[in-house]
Amino acid sequence: MKPAAFEYARPADLAEACALLGELGDAAMPVAGGQSLVPMMSLRLTGFETLLDISRLDALKVVRDEETHVFIGAAVTHAMIEDGKVPDPAFGLMARVASKIAYRAVRNMGTIGGSVGLADPASDWPCCLLALGAEVVLAGAEGERVLGAGGFFLGPYETARDPAEIITGFRIPKLSAGARWGTFKVARKSGAFSDSLAIAVLTAEGEARVALTGTLDHAQLLPGASAALAAGDLAAVREAARAEVAQADPDADAYRLRCHVATVTRAAEEALTMEPRR
Amino acid sequence: MAATTETKGWIGARLLRKEDARHLLGASTFTGDVRVPGLKDVAFVRSQFAHGLLNSVVKPDGLETSVFSAADFPDLKSIDGGPELPSFRTAPYHAFAREKVHFVGQIIAACLAPTRGAAEDIADQVYADIEPRPAVVDMVEALEPGAEILHEGFPDNAFIHATVSEGDIAAIAARAEVEMRRSFRMNRQATVSLEGRGVLAYWDHRLDELVVYLSTQGAHMMRIGLSLALGLPEHKLHVIAPDVGGGFGGKNRLMPEEVAVCAIALKTGQPVRWIEDRREHLIASVHCREHHYDLTLYAEKSGRILGLKGEVHIDAGAYSLWPSGPFMEASMAARNLPGPYQMQALHVETHTVATNKAPMGPYRGVARPGACYAIERAVDELAHKLGMEPADVRRINLVTPDQMPYRTIGGLRLDNGDYPRALDMVRDMVDLPAIRRRQAEGETDGRRIGVGFAVYTEQSGHGAAEWMKRKSRIVPGYESCTARVLPDGSMLLLVGIQNHGQGLETSLAQIAAHELTLDPAFISVRYGDTALTPFGFGTFASRSTVFSGGAVAKATRLVAEKARRIGAHLMQTEYEETRLEDGAVHGPSGKVPLAEIARAANVRQEFLPAGMSPLLEATATYEPEESGGFFSYGAHAVVVAVDPETGVTSLLDYAIAEDCGTMINPLIVDGQIIGGVAQGIGTALYEEIPYDPDGQPLATTFGDYMVPCAPELPKLRIAHLITPAHGTEYGVKGMGEGGAIAPPAAISNAVCDALHGLGVIIRETPLTPRRVSDAVAEAEERRAAVSLKEEVPA
């Protein structure tokens, strides 16, 4: 369980990283925390001629508290978000989500950009970014590109990132005061990948977004459950979830569907019963 | 009479462990830390098929000398284990597969390279031509007519069929008011030591011997096995077990990787090692636990159990591991089925079955977690059937102190203790009436609360007679110790056991300190080196404190006696007038420190009594007088909350009352309990290696194989009863396994208690969220079907 030999490159800045990646194409893979990539290479499930170590690029560690958005750099670790070391655009939702990712040792190393880039269908951040209506910022040889989270995730381990692009960070809209949210995760034990994870956000303006992950595909928004949540009708959320999870995860078995209905309903329930955040 | 505290000298002292410092500093030396110049790494090519004919192994061009397979070692002996019984069928287990493969992960070839990564590169290029055969994956179906037969010459797939029968079960069946038949299944696990297995071997030209670093529970035992397999005399084999990071039974069998690495080192003349990775550990290391029980319980309406009849299937995997194979699993399961209960008849047919899975070995608790699970689940189901409180049914049937020693219907001699009191203690600790009230009120979050109990016994320190009864080809009926006082009065204890996390460097030092009135800081315990210590069997079966502790006591007493004789001579008094105190021999007027006596004995012989031989050391062996073992016991009570929709179980409270006789070090006892319970929680809720119908293992990394970690452990509340054993030194009993025995039973009972009102039936471990949620859904469907039927007019 050791990886095949590979070249290791540590570009000095983002421009050099993009140039190198443009040159090497899909023979190279950027690595930051390596918490998924390295085990997968060790198991020889994947392999690359070159690993591009982007973990020390300052440009990827940028965090900006802007007027309407928070920008979180791709190389920010789960632990930094969990510990509140970066501003949370959602009154603690991101810290909660971060705290439930794998184990602390993994969170110390793993990054939000790495997790989103890998797009494991059971991972937490894609679901969270969808629920928050975030955008993914990418850098490539031709400059910067911004994609909505909804258009970024294409399938299991499949994203709209071009092999020559690097995720630089995420533009996440700030929730206004009075927003509420809820999350619920079912996993075989703490730290395990989720069988189902739902995140519900209810904005002060009355808009609702419910996102689901742990499917066999990719994280996605559930419009019916979202509408029911906006209407404040928990029974309707459950009914909508029943119909929507079967569509969101068509190959899921009865247990998985049961989990999805449970997580969606309970995330919505937490959002509805939560004291509005300020 | 059970007491709750006892401390006498160093016996019972709550000493911090001597071994902690190096482990906490990361300064330990495990097999993987050993460096030898020119060392090469082995990567194994393993079968990807569960069952098939191995037609050929094709080595990659140009790399022929870096790849080894069976053809390279025609003289290597197979390493067959099992009891010395004519009814036990043996199939040769070769280090490298010959002609057939019998499980996914079986070794086909070994590749040698300067690094493990490079060795894996070569392994990827080796081609094994395998003609697949149908896989046998279910231990019950494996015995049905027409099943594919694994091993040539076997009339069916059983290694052995055996019956355990005592009392008149037919008469009991005829007069019983209650007859209840239930099936239970405990699924397959890995042993998951923190450090995996590992072996490093090289020829030492100076000593003219093969040096073998081995992560094992018994270096002397493995030397015997390696000698048999390699055909090398034992004086040419030097086995060293350095720091060993847990074994739990999984490092107490001779494994093919170990033979293969030694054979390659001998053939190439190069230092060679193999360090197991976690995937190999889960696929191809010792597997354990997989039992199926089909039991019929006979009882009175009062709840009194009369007898037990049934069948036990053990999924032993493809081969029988040296030395004892999987046979003990079945006999121990059958003989432990009556547990701590009075019964009049027992009739159990056992089947130890070969399947296309990795071979089964021992794992903390050996068979008893399964037996305890089966009987304790059956007791709860009996209670439900009779409308009784499960704890009350236990109370009615438990063996009582006035009946001790009590011979169970399974033939085990329960020596002493107060079983009902242990049960009462945990019932009080979790406050059973309060839980019943809470259940009646219901939970606001939709979860359901349940409480479960289990009472277990743990045979420990069993000697020669017991192992001979089991027809073991090795009879670990004693342990040995050389106690050596050095010229400055400090001391070495050389012992034949293997400390691999049990704190024995500390507890054995405490025993010697107690006998010699020395501070344990001046006593070092050495083990795990065949060139250093007298022969011993190693650490397993909860035996080391009883046996090795006894040997340390005996050897140090011989040393103490000689020290007093020298001291008497130096003080010009009589031996009878002397005593040991505070590290000195005291006479009627004055004292001589042990250091001075040790100096005389070792380097200043002119101070010794005339005719006394020099040196201050002694070697002793020890076996307790009673060979049937000493029974630790305990009761566990656990409170759970179960989410019926998602099936997730949380442990809210966990209470333990246990009795292991005199405790040498209560901190170490508690540590053993906590570690054992953690593993028992794994069996109950998380750990499982399922196989698909083609014999492919489905849990091959920690992504699929769930092990409980700190967040899964509730705070364990431990209460001790102390009933000293009669017939061991200080009244100790072994207790290393008990923690792992009861949790699958107690937790399963608690989950079933929580869901009982919903009509849920679960008779299988682990209780994964999926299994529990599916069982709740099935119960709902059954209820719906019933109510539909009732709507139909008659």
B-chain residues near A4 (CB < 8 A):
117, 120-121
Contact at 8 Å (CB) between A27 and A50?
yes
Residue B328 confidence class, pLDDT cut points 50, 70, 90: confident
- Bridge partners (DSSP) of residue B480 are B621
Q: Is B701 on the interface with A (CB under 8 A)?
A: yes
Domains annotated for chain A, with CATH where assigned, are: 7-52 (3.30.43.10), 60-173 (3.30.465.10), 180-273 (3.30.390.50)
* Cα separation, B171 vs B348, whole angstroms: 15
Residue B713, judged by CB atoms within 10 A of its CB (0-12, 13-18, 19+), counts as middle
Q: Point out the least confidently predicted range of A99-113, A243-257, B24-38.
A: A243-257
Residue A136: closest CA among A124, A145, A123: A145
Query: Omega before B340 cis (within 30°)?
Result: no
What is the pLDDT confidence band of residue A1, given thresholds at 50, 70 and 90? confident
CB proximity B604 to A under 8 Å: no
- Look-up of token digits 């482990």: B23
| Test mutation, B649, B706, B770, B772, chain A, max A CBs within 10 A | B770
Distances (CA, A) of B534 to B315, B478, B515, B619, B668: 36, 12, 21, 8, 25
Q: What DSSP character marks residue B68?
A: E
Mean pLDDT confidence for B113-132: 97
Q: What is the mean pLDDT of chain B?
A: 96
Q: What is the CA radius of gyration of chain B?
A: 28
pLDDT at B791: 57
pLDDT computed for residue B625 by the predictor: 86
Confidence band, pLDDT 50/70/90 cuts, at residue B642 = very high
DSSP string, A157-172: TEES--TT-EEEEEEE
pTM: 0.97
Return the bridge partners of A198, or none. Answer: A184, A212
Whether residues B116 and A2 touch (CB distance < 8 A) is answered with yes
Q: How many CA atoms lie within 13 A of B349 on its CB side?
A: 8
For B650, the token pair is: 């949380």
Please indicate if any CB of chain A lies within 8 Å of the CB of B120.
yes
**What is residue B5's predicted lDDT score, i.e. its pLDDT?**
45
Indicate whether B7 pLDDT > 70: no
3-class SS of residue B57: strand
Give pLDDT, residue B98.
96
Q: What is the pLDDT of residue A215?
A: 87
Give chain B positions within 8 Å (CB) of A263: 646
Distance CA(B527)–CA(B496), nearest Å, equals: 6
Q: Which residues contact B133 (CB under 8 A, 6 or more apart)?
A: B51, B52, B53, B148
d(CA B567, CA B131): 76
Q: B515, B506, B502: which is closest to B551 by C-alpha? A: B515
B463 vs B380, residue with greater confidence? B380
Tell me the average pLDDT across A152-162: 95
Q: Tokens 């509805």 label which residue?
A: A272
Residue B82 vs residue B214, higher pLDDT: B214
Q: How far is CA A28 from CA A17, A25, A61, B395, B437, in A?
A: 11, 6, 21, 67, 62
Q: How many CB atoms lie within 10 A of CB B539?
A: 32
> Which residues are B676's β-sheet partners?
none
CB atoms within 10 A of CB B589: 9
- Cβ contact A258–B279 (<8 Å): no
Chain B (395-454) residues lying within 8 Å, Cβ to Cβ, of chain A: none
Which tens digits make up the pLDDT trace of A12-63?
Answer: 999 999 999 999 988 999 999 999 999 999 999 999 999 999 999 999 999 9
- Could you report the per-residue pLDDT of B39-59, keeping only the tens digit for each? 999 999 999 999 999 999 999
Specify whether the CB–CB gap between A237 and A264 falls below 8 A.
Answer: yes
Whether the predicted pLDDT of B3 surpasses 60: no
CA-atom Rg of chain A in angstroms: 18
Model pLDDT, residue B790: 62
Q: Which of B121, B701, B712 sits opposite A4 (nearest CB)?
A: B121
Q: How far apart are the first and last CA of chain A?
A: 49
